[in-house]
């Protein structure tokens, strides 16, 4: 039986985390839940969390409806995925399932996502990773966690059969009928939902703001497809080698 680690960056109390764990259990997988004790959004692949003595503090946490080992960890999700790969929660997981995040994770802005950072760490540590996000927008009335969980469940077996290092990023519209969608293969948009810009600059610092993206966008990008109401799936990679630019001398 394959073992999966369920984590997120919204924290141990997130209903999205619980929905993803239930999806993995329904697929017959061996599940361990280990998530930040408090929100860790925007933590990317940070390994912040170890105390000055090198310990990562955690405690068992009962989660209603989940009869599996659950841990609240004082660490960013990528560090949780990293220590899981060293047996911190028992058997080393075959895959890290991260989410379901409250908000989409699309475009090259996934670099900054704690949800995606955990999945990438799982893939870089000899396993596989899946990041799952629900596009709830700014002021959601409801959160259709179950719809995202259904689509995630359909990916689990192919993910576990894929080569080690495989990492997938799934984004789902916040609609109940999204459970019936077939995820569309998507490219990464240049940015994310919005573009970050510097609103003010001064001697005391810089204040950032966000603005809507302008101009035309690749219709096959995750941003474009998600805006059309499609679920998107993108295979992503962590750190890797690339060709050196011409003219760079090496020994």
Token pair for residue 186?
């998507």
Token pair for residue 73?
């960890």
Banded model confidence at residue 194, pLDDT cuts 50, 70, 90: very low
**Facing residues of 47 across strands?**
none
Least confident of 4-8, 45-49, 203-207, 221-225: 203-207
Written in H, E and C, the secondary structure of 185-223 is ECECCCCCCCEEEEEEEECCEEEEEEECCCCCCCCCEHH
Helix (H) or strand (E) holding 12: none
Q: Structural domains in the chain?
A: 3-188+219-235 (3.40.1210.10)
Burial class (CB in 10 A: 0-12, 13-18, 19+), 119: buried
Arithmetic mean of pLDDT, 183-200: 72
Residue 241 has what pLDDT?
85
Question: Residue 205 pLDDT more than 70?
Answer: no
Short-list 189, 197, 196, CA closest to 227: 189
Stated pTM of the model: 0.90
Question: Residue 209 pLDDT more than 70?
Answer: no
Question: Residue 164 pLDDT more than 70?
Answer: yes
- Determine the longest span between alpha carbons in the chain, in angstroms: 60
Residue 139 has what pLDDT?
87
Short-list 76, 88, 95, 77, CA closest to 29: 95
What separation in angstroms does the CA of 31 have from each of 68, 121, 125, 144, 200?
7, 18, 18, 22, 47
pLDDT tens, position by position, 29-40: 999 999 999 888
Residue 124 has what pLDDT?
96
Short-list 25, 125, 128, 129, CA closest to 70: 25
Can you give the length of the chain in residues? 251
Residue with more model confidence, 204 or 78: 78
pLDDT tens, position by position, 56-100: 899 999 999 999 999 999 999 999 999 999 999 999 999 999 999
If phi > 0 it is left, if psi is from -120 to 50 it is alpha, else beta; for residue 42 that is left
**Mean model confidence pLDDT for the chain:** 90
Name residues whose C-beta falls within 8 Å of residue 176's C-beta, 6 or more positions apart in sequence. 144, 146, 147
In contact, 124 and 85? CB cutoff 8 Å: no
Residue 113 has what pLDDT?
93
Q: Which residue has the tokens 């993108």?
A: 234
Q: Which residue has the tokens 């080690």?
A: 164
Arithmetic mean of pLDDT, 142-147: 97
Residue with more model confidence, 168 or 199: 168
């Amino acid at each position: 039986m394959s073992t999966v680690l369920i984590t997120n960056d919204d924290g141990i109390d997130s209903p999205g985390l619980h929905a993803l764990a239930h999806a993995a259990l329904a697929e017959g997988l061996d599940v361990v839940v280990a998530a930040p004790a408090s929100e860790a959004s925007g933590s990317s692949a940070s390994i912040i969390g170890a105390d000055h003595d090198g310990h990562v503090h955690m405690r068992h946490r009962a989660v209603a409806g989940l009869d599996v080992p659950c841990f609240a960890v004082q660490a960013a999700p990528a560090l949780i995925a990293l220590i899981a790969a060293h047996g911190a929660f028992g058997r080393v997981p075959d895959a890290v399932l991260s989410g379901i995040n409250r908000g989409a994770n699309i475009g090259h802005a996934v670099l900054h996502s704690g949800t995606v950072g955990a999945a990438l760490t799982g893939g870089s540590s000899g396993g596989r990773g899946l990041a799952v996000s629900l596009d709830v927008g700014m002021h959601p009335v409801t959160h259709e966690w179950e719809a995202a969980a259904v689509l995630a469940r359909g990916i689990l077996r192919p993910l576990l059969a894929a080569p080690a290092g495989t990492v997938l990023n799934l984004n789902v519209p916040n609609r109940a009928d999204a459970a019936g969608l077939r995820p569309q293969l998507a490219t990464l948009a240049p940015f994310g939902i919005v573009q970050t810009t510097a609103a003010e600059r001064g001697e005391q610092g810089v204040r950032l703001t966000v603005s809507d993206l302008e101009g035309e966008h690749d219709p096959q990008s995750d941003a474009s497809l998600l805006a059309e109401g499609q679920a998107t799936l993108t295979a992503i990679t962590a750190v890797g080698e690339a060709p050196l630019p011409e003219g760079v001398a090496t020994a």
